[in-house]
């Protein structure tokens, strides 16, 4: 992996199912975060192929198991993975694997995360504490990661970057950005922050 594109204007969208001829670095990335944070939405927004989803409707039975505070309007949930693909300039192709956000799907984590080079962790600033378990899984797996606060319309705006970083207990070098998971450019910018972090984190001779 050489260098990340510097702007979204350099991001070709192939629109097809085949890899572009320029594909050089194929990278598995996790898109993770707590239940209802926007993982499926982000993959939908950026994928150049038709995304794969394994969603089911929420039932009254699951309402007693899953934490629905702050996401009462949500009607479906990912029960295995979401999958999409995005080709970046410079021959970098990201394979995006969205993970289920509920603790009851914890047994899938090792299988989904196997072979991933990094993770984009989506966070809802209205319920920051819901992200702790996922961050723990990412750190336990030893994956480099970036944090993206999904800009929900009613998200509080009075928190500073320093306060948010402290609330999540992030290392100084961990990228932290804001994105709108519904917006392709905003979501790709968040992925680029992760890609650049992965590049910067590699030994110089491997870049």
Alpha-carbon span 203 to 207, nearest angstrom = 7
pLDDT of 77 higher than 80 = no
Query: According to the model, what pLDDT value does residue 69 have?
Result: 52
Under 8 Å between Cβ of 132 and 87: no
Residue 5 or 10, more confident: 5
Mean pLDDT of 48-56: 80
Query: According to the model, what pLDDT value does residue 94 have?
Result: 97
Alpha-carbon span 156 to 70, nearest angstrom = 13
pLDDT of 145 higher than 50 = yes
Query: According to the model, what pLDDT value does residue 64 have?
Result: 45
DSSP 200: H
Q: Which residues pair with 77 in a beta bridge?
A: 56
Chain center to CA of 167: 19
Length in residues, the chain: 207
pTM listed for this prediction: 0.81
Chain center to CA of 45: 12
pLDDT in tens, 24-47: 999 999 999 998 899 999 999 999
């Amino acid at each position: 992996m050489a260098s990340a594109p510097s702007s979204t204007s350099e991001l070709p969208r192939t629109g097809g199912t085949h890899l572009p001829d320029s594909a050089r670095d194929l990278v598995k990335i996790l898109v993770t975060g707590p239940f209802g944070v926007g993982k499926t939405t982000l993959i939908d927004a950026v994928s150049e192929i038709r995304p794969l989803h394994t969603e089911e409707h929420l039932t009254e039975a699951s309402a007693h198991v899953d934490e629905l505070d702050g996401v009462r309007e949500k009607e479906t949930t990912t029960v295995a993975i979401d999958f999409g693909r995005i080709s970046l300039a410079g021959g970098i192709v990201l394979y995006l694997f969205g993970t289920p956000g509920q603790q009851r799907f914890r047994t899938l984590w090792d299988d989904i995360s196997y072979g991933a080079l990094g993770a984009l962790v989506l966070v809802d600033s209205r319920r920051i504490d819901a992200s702790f378990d996922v961050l723990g899984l990412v750190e336990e797996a030893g994956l480099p990661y970036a944090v993206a606060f999904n800009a929900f319309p009613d998200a509080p705006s009075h928190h500073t970057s320093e306060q948010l970083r402290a609330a999540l207990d992030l290392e100084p070098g961990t990228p932290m950005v804001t994105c709108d998971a519904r917006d392709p450019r905003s979501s790709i910018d968040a992925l680029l922050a992760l890609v650049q972090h992965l590049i910067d984190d590699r030994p110089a001779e491997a870049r």
